Amino acid sequence: MHGLDETRKAEDCGELEAKAFDLRLRALESREREDRLTRLVAERPDLAALPVQPPGGADASQLERLQREVVLLADYQHAVALSRGWRLLQVLRRPFGRAW
């Protein structure tokens, strides 16, 4: 009976360590993404203020289609970012840097 208690405690401890690691990884990746976007906007000031209306006056149906596509792509990116496989790949890539 004593061994089962230790096993449960070890599982709980491992789960807490995994959650803490995941949170640290997400925070680090978020800071890196923010830094890259900030540098990109600083290097290209034309990206900082995009016009609200597309040039040439695109019609409403085209604008709605583009907005739907952006939502679909954002959902896909969010699903990939939350997947365990993607996070594992990022952890494995870290020792080699981003350029491999």
Tens-digit pLDDT profile for residues 30-58:
999 888 888 887 787 776 665 555 555 66
pLDDT score for 25: 92
Dihedral over alpha carbons 53, 56, 62, 65 (to 10 degrees): -50
pLDDT score for 9: 87
For helices 2-43 and 84-93, the axis angle rounded to 10 degrees is 70
Structural contact between residues 54 and 63, judged by C-beta atoms closer than 8 angstroms: yes
pLDDT score for 68: 92
pLDDT score for 3: 74
Q: Which residues of the chain have pLDDT under 50?
A: 100
User: Does the pTM of the predicted model rise above 0.75?
Assistant: no
